[in-house]
Amino acid sequence: MKTMVFGHPVRSIAFDLAVAAPVILVSTAGARAQPGGWWAAAIGMAMGLALLARRARPVTVTAVVAVLGFVQVALGWAPLPYDVAVLIALYSVVKYADRLQAGVVAGLVAAVGAVFAAVRTSTPGIWYFTAVFYLLITGAVWLFALNVRTRRLYVLSLEERAATLEREREAEARAAVAEERTRIARELHDVVAHSMAVMIAQADGARYVLDSSPETAREAVRTVADTGRRALDDMRRLVGVLREPQSPAESPAVSTAEPAHRRPVVAELPALLDRFREAGLKVRYTVGDLPTPLPPALELTVYRLVQEALTNALKHTGPGAQVQVELTCTAGALALRVTDDGQGRPPAGPAPSGGHGLVGMRERVSVYDGTLTAGPRLAGGWQVLARLPLPSSPGAEVIAA
**What mean pLDDT do residues 21-26 have?**
84
Question: Which stretch, 97-111, 192-206, 231-245, has highest mean pLDDT?
Answer: 97-111
Contacts of 334 (CB under 8 A, 6+ apart): 290, 294, 298, 302, 327, 328, 387, 388, 390
pLDDT at residue number 352: 45
Q: State the Cα–Cα distance between residues 365 and 397, nearest whole angstrom.
A: 10
pLDDT at residue number 24: 83
pLDDT at residue number 52: 86
Check pLDDT > 80 for residue 232: no
End-to-end CA distance of the chain: 28
pLDDT at residue number 193: 63
CATH number, domain 171-241: 1.20.5.1930
CA distances from 12 to 15, 56, 121 (A): 5, 11, 36
Name which residue leads in pLDDT, 238 or 319.
Answer: 319
| Residues 171-186: tens digit of each pLDDT | 888 888 777 777 777 6
pLDDT at residue number 336: 93
pTM: 0.44
**What mean pLDDT do residues 112-117 have?**
84
User: Is residue 94 a contact partner of residue 107, using CB atoms and an 8 Å limit?
Assistant: yes
| Residues 40-49: tens digit of each pLDDT | 888 888 888 8
Q: List, in sequence order, every residue forming a beta bridge with 224; answer none if it has no partner.
A: none
- Name the least confident of 124-128, 145-149, 327-331, 334-338: 124-128
Name which residue leads in pLDDT, 300 or 199.
Answer: 300
User: Is residue 82 a contact partner of residue 47, using CB atoms and an 8 Å limit?
Assistant: yes
**What mean pLDDT do residues 10-16 have?**
79
Longest Cα–Cα distance of the chain, Å, equals: 133
pLDDT at residue number 216: 83
pLDDT band at 147 (very low <50, low <70, confident <90, very high): very high
Nearest to 264 by CA among 203, 308, 232: 308
Nearest to 82 by CA among 15, 137, 27, 16: 27
Check pLDDT > 80 for residue 122: no
> What is the C-alpha radius of gyration for the chain, rounded to an integer number of angstroms?
38
DSSP assigned state of 283? E
| Residues 27-43: tens digit of each pLDDT | 887 777 777 778 888 88
Architecture, CATH, for domain 266-389: 2-Layer Sandwich (3.30)
% pLDDT > 70, the chain = 81
| Residues 342-393: tens digit of each pLDDT | 887 765 445 444 445 687 788 888 888 889 999 888 888 889 999 999 876 4
pLDDT at residue number 195: 67
pLDDT at residue number 191: 63
Strand 333-340 versus strand 382-389 pairing type: antiparallel
Check pLDDT > 60 for residue 397: no
Q: Domain locations in the chain?
A: 4-121, 171-241, 266-389
Indicate the average pLDDT of the chain: 78
pLDDT at residue number 327: 93
pLDDT at residue number 325: 94
